[in-house]
Structure 1
Amino acid sequence: MDYSTFLQLLNDEIARGDGSHKKQIIRFAHSRDYRKCMSHFMKLKSSLTMLSAVQPSRIIHAMICPAIPEGKLNKFKNDIFFEEDTRMKVHGTLHKTSVQWDHGIPWGVQQIRAPQTWATTTGHRIKIGVIDTGVDYRHPDLRHSLMRGINLLNRNMLPHDDNGHGTHIAGTIAAANQMKGIIGVAPRALIHPVKAFDHNGSAYVSDIILGIDWCVRNRMNIINMSFGMKSSSKSLLNAVMNAYNAGIVIVASSGNDAKRKSIDYPARYPQTISVGATNRQRRVAKFSNRGSFIDIYAPGDKIVSSWLRGNYNEMSGTSMATSHVSGAIALLLAQNPTLTPGEIKSLLRRSASTIRGRRLHSKAPGEVDALRLLREAKA
């Protein structure tokens, strides 16, 4: 492969672009070609100025760049694969704005019996990458839980939340304000916000991939993915597989379409822990996807958590359920740091409590139970 010619062509086609915001992912057939191309890329990017619009992704040996017309790089068709960069949405819906909250433990955190584990584990120093809309760094309930993250939409800015969804997720996982605010499932876990979603709760697949890349390089223990899309992406699957192989537990929401035989991606990938939502009655929430693709359920209906400008909000969705599961895994990993992602999925399923409306001998997945999870790991 002639890397210089390839990069020159890419530069020229980007310069000729139509000004649209469409993007594409260019994957290399062989990792050695990616590495050699990157070496040329570093040398040439000062002279080929349009290459500044290209973002390398080490985790999947790819380049993310503005979309160029099909066929323009035909001479390299044996060395590279193209994938259109699609969009996806967060999995949560807002119910009430500016909920009044006195202080204490939300019902979902109580229902999964997290407080009964805090005498032995609080998720101390477990690193959780929350790929979402960012987080409110000024929220008093999150002050002790937030660490360095990244803003993939604007690398020069902190991953500040301009939507609210990411702040809500972070609160359920690791809020720690006993006196005046809420307490999350794992109050001493560490949240690393990865802002990939805009103020509308929408993101490109490529930004998710770059977020996973960041989480792997910065050695997260858990990645929380409270979002999804209907179609599969080869590039996203590769990123998820590589993070899984690096020992990172990936927790993903199944979607809010009340489907019985299908769930959204990336939750559908076997390398993730797929999460459905339950309500206060320990039944599957009406909106939640369900069925054989679900690994575990957790509270996701009318969940109060932290919000923008120090406020609180009530939200529903498999997004909210996913944050409960990420918190429970943080409690587990703080006590059992050598567990693999596969072992954790198995422990979650074995220790789950039976959901109401299910036969006792049913093989269907149950609801996460943090106390039983820790006991199962000890056993």
Structure 2
Amino acid sequence: MIRRLARTAALVAGLVAATSTPALAEAPRGWEQQAMKVPAAQRLGQGKGITVAVLDSGVMEDHPEFRGRVTSGPDFIGGGARPGQSYWGAHGTSMASSVLRVAPQAQVLSVRVIWDHEDPARKRAEAATKSGRIAADEESLKRGNALAKGIRYAVDKGARVISMSLGTDEWNLGDAYDDTTAAAVDYALGKGVILMASAGNGGSTDPLEVDANNVVAYPAAHPGVIAVAATGPDGKRADFSQVHTYNTISAPGVDIYFANNRGGYRTGEGTSPACALAAGTAALMLSRNPDLTPRQVRDILIRTAKKPAGGYNVFLGFGLIDAAAAVQAAGAAKDAKIAAAPYKGKEYFGGGPVASASTNPPIDMGFVTVGGGAAGVGLLFLLGAALLMRRPRARPAPGRPADGAFGQAAPYGPPRNMG
């Protein structure tokens, strides 16, 4: 989520400086590498054999920065934009370069799932959202399913890390949690894929800042996704980085120098580059130890991070990534095992029983004998009654009609003359 751009090249530095705040004077180019201790980490691993899926607006594969390290998958969002246009791949190209600056031997799989800010398709969707219209056209339907399809595609193509520099606070035009994306996240985690997402750029407290919403952003808020906040060169939270309890770790996100989709380079800021840098770190960890699970990667990043004063907080999570310490710890990690943990607590949960256990007096066998005898006598009476009821009835004398029910003559005609 690149929010502001500074200089794009030395040739036009003066022109850009007239319209934007100079940034490189405060933060030298590549400062994020030193802050995260990337050079030391790269002596332990380079990301070889690891594919990082960059789910974004597309990546210009032929940029000199990439040298054959980027391949492209499907365009799940569409909209009509094509490679070579200024609004195709602006964001994604920059994010891919941030990943590869950290993990230079990794492979990037580009999957297009969002529009750049200047894309006409995005502007159409924004206009429909502002007017309150509920669009049900093909373009809107593709937008709603693009991220979930991109996650599943990346997993099936062998990506070990999925970098999502996007969020519902900006990119999905107001949409929030949806079951389709949640199911795709679960699918990826079940396959052992590490998922990272930017925390969001709406954390500003400036009332004039239009992005100051600090809403819950998905996919960062999904359980199992590592949410990445942004820091500045001073190590503090960048003023735009969103503040949430699901923030896991942080990475540099101010004055980041990266590739431009039109050629050359530019600088920008946001939690987007922070997420991409974190994804590159995960690739280094996996190249050192390919058997790491998503939970192990998360735990190692947390354990080795440079902690904020006072420990975890909602601004920076567990702190700034220390790539060197994380890669070293990854190499020493053992295989994850799943087993039931023995309970070592007290005998009872909570306060236990509210009263002492009650006891019953012994059974008086005299009552049992009397009761048994009475039952036996009753049983004899029942047998006697049954025998009496089964005794045969007296038959009538020959030649005499049998009485019917209630003492009346049998209904078969008038009585015979016996005289």
TM-score exceeds 0.5: yes
Aligned to 1:98: 8
Superposition map of 1:177-216 within 5 A: 184-200=101-117, 202=122, 204-216=143-155
Candidates 303, 306, 325, aligned match of 1:350: 303
SS of the counterpart of 1:295? strand
- Maintained 8 Å contact 1:151/1:158: no
Q: In the TM superposition, what is the alpha-carbon distance from 1:302 to its structure 2 partner? A: 1.6
Q: Contact 1:303 / 1:320 at 8 angstroms: preserved in 2? A: yes
Residues 1:125 and 1:310: Cα distance change in structure 2 (over 3 Å)? farther
1:278 matched to 2:202? The reply is: no
* Distance in 1 between residues matched to 2:270 and 2:96, nearest whole Å: 15
Q: Distance in 2 between matches of 1:232 and 1:156?
A: 26
Measured at CA, do residues 158 and 271 of structure 1 come closer, stay the same or move farther in structure 2, by a change above 3 Å? Answer: farther
Give the distance between the partners of 1:226 and 1:198, measured in 2 at CA. 12
In structure 1, list runs of 5 or more residues that go unmatched.
Answer: 1-90, 175-183
Instruction: Give the TM-score normalised by the residue count of structure 2.
Output: 0.61
In the TM superposition, residue 376 of structure 1 has moved relative to its aligned partner by 2.4
| Structure richer in strand, relative to its length | 1
Q: CA deviation at 1:361?
A: 8.2
Letter in 1 for 2:5: H
Matched, 1:171 2:59: no
Match of 2:219 in 1: 266
Matched, 1:107 2:31: yes
Please report how far the alpha carbon of residue 263 of structure 1 lies from its aligned counterpart in structure 2 after TM superposition.
3.7
Structure 1 distance, partners of 2:258, 2:281, is 16
Counterpart position of 1:223: 162
- Within 2, Cα distance between the matches of 1:129 and 1:278? 23
CA contact (8 A) 2:229 2:271 kept: yes
Q: Contact (CA 8 Å) 1:93, 1:316: kept in 2 or not?
A: yes
Query: Does the residue aligned with 2:277 lie in a helix, a strand or coil?
Result: helix
Q: Secondary structure at the match of 1:296?
A: strand
C-alpha contact 2:201 2:240 (8 A) present in aligned 1: yes
Residue 152 of structure 1 and its aligned partner are, at CA, apart by 2.2
Does residue 1:131 correspond to 2:86, yes or no? no
On the 8 A contact 2:59/2:110 being kept in 1, the answer is: yes
Distance 2:29 2:68 in 1: 17
**Distance in 1, Cα, partners of 2:267 & 2:254:** 9
CA RMSD after TM alignment = 2.7
- Residues 1:121 and 2:45 are matched in the alignment: yes
Aligned AA for 1:275? V
Q: CA deviation at 1:158?
A: 8.4
Describe the SS at the equivalent of 1:204: helix
Taking only the aligned residue pairs, the percentage that are identical comes to 28
1:309 aligned counterpart, secondary structure = coil
Match in the other structure for 1:46 = none
Q: Which residue of 2 aligns with 1:311?
A: 264
SS in 1 for 2:5: strand
Q: How many residues align?
A: 276
CA distance in 1, matches of 2:115, 2:245: 32
Q: Distance in 2 between matches of 1:173 and 1:121?
A: 14
1:359 to 310, 315, 319: 310
Gaps of 5+ in 2: 12-27, 123-141, 170-175, 206-213, 333-419
C-alpha separation in 2, matches of 1:148 and 1:228: 21
Equivalent residue number for residue 192 of structure 2: 247
In 2: Cα distance, 1:217 partner to 1:152 partner = 15
Deviation per CA, 1:304-338, whole angstroms, max 9, x where unpaired? 10012221111111111000100000000001101
Q: Which has the larger radius of gyration?
A: 2
Q: Which residue does 2:201 correspond to in 1? A: 256
The match for 1:149 is 73
Classify the secondary structure of the residue corresponding to 2:148.
helix
8 Å CA contact retained: 2:165, 2:197: yes
